Each structure stands twice: as structure tokens, then as C-alpha cells.
Structure 1
Amino acid sequence: MPHSDDLLWGAVGDISRFAALLTMAELGVADHLADGPLDSAELARRCGAHAPSLRRVLRELASLDVVRSAGPDMYDLTERGTALRSDVPDSIRSSIRMLGEEGFWYAMGALPATVRDGSSAFIKRHGHLYDHLAANPATSKMFDDYMTARAIPFTENLAKRYTFPENATMVDVAGGKGHILATVLHANPSMRGILLDLDHVTGRARETLAAEGLADRSEVVSGDFFAGVPAGADVYLLASVLHNWDDDDALRILRNVRQAMDPSGRVLVLEVALPDDEAPHLGKDIDLRMLAIFNGGAERTREEFAALFAQADLALSDIVELGSGSSLLEARPR
């Protein structure tokens, strides 16, 4: 067991390491090194950066094994660093850029102010996240890419580990670019899908579903889940939705779904369910982001989800672990 001071000082150092990764992601360093090593001056020229400053960041990046020395003042990309290229399937470049986006970066730095008065400092400066995204198309696209990359591990397991009903129609509530719906429809050829999201998102969802060859088995609808959701479907998926809202708003969403669904239907809530112990867990990290960015947004335990379901006339019927800290909670009408 490492000494506690080592853990604390390691956390202090993490901000510098993340800043180095953010610089690498923003400048496209991995893309520029994809074809082989470059000296720092040439790399800086291609990145549009100040060479002496970039050299100092490269030194830190080498300590993280994302780049390595390939000779005097020469750097090459490592296998680990390949994940920061923008053209690889499992790229985390967009994820790093989103977490370092001005508003997100401010939100985490202002967490003490949020905790002091219980109101998000991010919202005070930038407004609600989704209004912020709607007003900033480049940030909105980056956010969609981040959510897609983050969802890849548990989306694949959702299709593999959960048995969807035959010939079902599924509504993906706040389905974003449509990556989850596309994965489910590919794995279940008899199913049809409806994706509901805000107007500024739906264009990208149509593009995704068309590119996946699913335009004839899917429909994209613009709308607000607080106003209502498409009625009469067999399955309603809420993936990383409820954790953005406090209990009152989460309950409004669930009640709208309960009102719209068939009596034999089911609700699938894909979230990071918090454990009851004090061990490190991804959900605890994400919970602080929810605290920083939303007023009332939070990760929840299984018991807290079950209580929400009960208030919406639903009952927790199954839990499927999807890996990467994520769980699929199935609820059915009581």
C-alpha cells in the first residue's frame, strides 16, 4: 500500500499531466507523429506552436509514455500515444479535448465555490450545459464525439449482454449522434428505432444512422423529454441522461416515459451506479463532474434508482453489468 502522501502528491501532479495531454490533443501532436519521428522544431511548425514551449511539454509526455525520444531532440509516437490520434477507432482525443474545454476546465477549478453555496459556478458563468452547447456548435460537436468515445465499451456490451424483445421498437431518449441506437439495431435486425433529441443534435443523428445503413429502420425526432417522448414503443433507453438532473427532474423524465410506454414495455437506464463502499470507483469521479456542471445532477446508487422508479410507477426488474463501471438497470410497469 503506497503511503498516503504519495497518493495525495500524485493527485496534485495529475493536473500537470492532464494539461500536457490536453496540449497534445489540442495541437494534434499524435496526428503529426503518425508517419514517424520529427524533431521538436519541425513538429512545432506543423502544430503551429512555439518550439521551446512544445519541447517542455514533450518532456512531460515522454514520462507518460505517449511519446518517446528517437534521437537528439527527436520524438516518436508510442503505442499508448496512438490512442490520441484522431483517425483511430478508439481515439480518446475528443474526450481529452472536451474535459479541457474552457467551460469544463473552469467548472472543475471552481468546484470549491460550487460546494460553498450548492449552486454550479459553471451555470452562473456559462448557463446550462445544453444551452452552452447549442450556442457553440464546435463545442457541441466535440461533446458528441466525447460521448461517443466514452460509450464505446458499454455500448458494445449492451448489444451483447442484454436480450432485446423481437420485433420491438426502441426509443433512444436524448440519443445524441445515434451511436448507441445504431449498435443495438445492427445486433437486432428485427428491431426498429426512434431517436429523440434537441433540434441542434438531430441532424448529426440522421447522418449517423444513414451512414450506418439504418435510415429505413429508424426515425429521428426533435423534441424535449420534459415535454414528452414518442408514445407506444416497447423499449425506452435513457443512456447517461438521468445523472444530469436532480431527483425532481429525473422523476419528470421517467413519468413521461411511463406515460408513453406500452403496458408490456420496459425502461432501460444506462448509468454508472455508485457502490455503497468507499473504494475508488469511476462513478465517484463522474459524480464530481455532475456536481460541478449541473445544479442537482448526480450519480446514484442502485437503491436510489429503485426509489426513483417506484415514484414513477416502475419497478427495478434486472441489472446487467456492462463493464467500465457502467450498469444497465431495467424497469417495468408496476
Structure 2
Amino acid sequence: MYSTSTQKKEWTFTAEQIDDQRQEVNQKFREKYKDFVEEGEHEIFLTCQEELSMQRIVEEAALKFADKFRPSIWPSVKWTAYAYFKRLFLKWSACDNSPKLVIMACFYLAMKIDEFFVTIDEFVGNLTTGNPSQNAERILALEPEIMRELDYNLTVHCPYRPFEGHLMEMKTRMLLLNFDLESIRNDSQRFFQLALQTDALLMYPPSQIALAAVKFGLKSQGKSNDVLRDFLNKLLGVEEDAWGGGVVPDANTHVEKLLVKLEMIENTVEGGTNKLSDDAVSNLQNRAGDLSNFLLILDKRRNDKWQAEGGIGRPPGEKDEQPVDSDDE
């Protein structure tokens, strides 16, 4: 259950906590090279917001990849992959790890976790760029590193099943509706697609995201917000209990708080999917290219210093090998 899950305990944050972690990651990346950056070169580094924009560009492109993937990807696989991706970049810098490669590895790992069986050859066969053999090698090599960074918290609770439950409850409890509830489904699914490109996955319980999708669907169909309010009243027992027990204590307050929370989720999703202009994307790509070339220079400076000091110890930039958990131990 979500209430006792690692997702709630370890991977659910406030907007402020998310911003702080991203700032820390960006600063940590800069610190790695601070002794080798000369005057006037600091501006070549990407800002925290530019790193986030790089991630958003990749997230948008990955949705197109997922929609075209054959066999058709389950929605839960998509949600799980994006959850992994967003969690990782609270620890990793987009300057230090290719978001494009990372999200592909997240998709392949999510397929395994969700038991959506696809071989690595079938997976890379859906990619339109790169060499299939090299793509497969890089994805498989990144997989154990991703699992370590996620602390092996690989179960992700998705909003799709709660959404179906909410629809079923509405159909059961609200028999006098003068429209077909199924009419909101397409708009609600669009809401989920938008949510994948925001921080909503890191901030809110899946059941509340599902309710926000219902709210979004109703609004998109021109339905009054009173429809959702009436449903929550019935669901939480604000109306008089049919067994004579009266109104559930504090239920009305819970409904009002929940409506406020759903409004916050909707604002997070609608306000977090601002698409960059073509010029902004082109400028960011140029900035990323300049940084990539600059990092080669910095790595050479760092290596030259290491050699000048006698080449003692591990070469600079080389990562420590970490053991992968084994069932044999």
C-alpha cells in the first residue's frame, strides 16, 4: 500500500525540497571542477533551471517514443519509468549524465519491474537513433547503477488503478448524473500525460493525482465542480448516513481540504508543462554542446595535474566499483 511504501517515505517531497535538491546537485557538479576553472569560465556551466529544461525536453520526446513503441507499452510502465527518471535527477546532474540515455534505461528497467516482457533487442529496435548494439550495451550497463541510486526502491504506485476505482465509485454513488462519465476518460488520460512532464509524481499520492485527473476531465467536458464535490461528499460521508449514523465527524472539513489539494495538483500539472520555443531549445542545445567541449578541457587539466603530482592513487574522474546485490550472498 502507498501509505506504508518507500515511495511515500523516501520519494515524496515538497516543491521546496525538490528545488533544494536540484540546486545541491547543480552545485556539487560545479564543485567537482572548481579548482580547474579559470576566470570568466564559470558562465559556461548550465544553471539549475537549464538542467531542468534539458530533462523536460527529454521527457516530452520520450512520451512520443512510448506512444509509438511496439508492442504497446502499458501506462503503468510509462509512469514507473518517469518516476525513476525524476528520482535519479534529484541525485544526478544532467550535465554529468545523459538524460536521453538515462530515460531509455529507466524504461527498460520499468518494463522488467512491471513484468512487461520485452527483450533488449526488441527494445533497442524501437529506437530511431544510434547503433542497436551500442544502445543495448549502454542501457544494460546503466541498469545496475540506476538500481543502486534508487536504493532498490523499485515499486512505484501509479494513479491509473485508483482512477478506475474513482470512476466506478462515481457510477455507483451518483446514479442521477445526466451525462456519461466515460466521456471524461480521454481528457483524464491527457492529464496523466501532462503530469508525466511535471514534478507531480514526486509530490502527491497517486490516489489524489487520480482524483485530480477526474476533476480535469469533468472541467474539460464543461461540467460544474459541484459534480466532484457531491461525489466527495458521498464518498466521505458528509451526507446523512443511510443507517442513521448521521454525518461522519469532520468529513466536511476533509472534503474542503481535499478540493484545495486537487486544485494544487491541477495547477502543478498545468503550470509545469510550459513548452520551450524552438529558439530556446536550440539555444539550450548550443549551451549543452559548449559545456560538453569545456568539460573535455577541464578533464584534461585535472588529469595533467594528477600526472604532474606523480599519478598517485585512482585516476581523477574514475568511479568506484560498487558490488551488485546477489541472491547468492
Answer 1 or 2: higher relative contact order, Cα 8 Å, separation at least 6: 2
Q: Which has the higher strand share?
A: 1
Q: Which has the higher helix share?
A: 2
**TM-score range, shorter-chain basis?**
under 0.3
Relative to the length of structure 2, the TM-score reads: 0.21
Relative to the length of structure 1, the TM-score reads: 0.21
Larger radius of gyration between Structure 1 and Structure 2 = 2
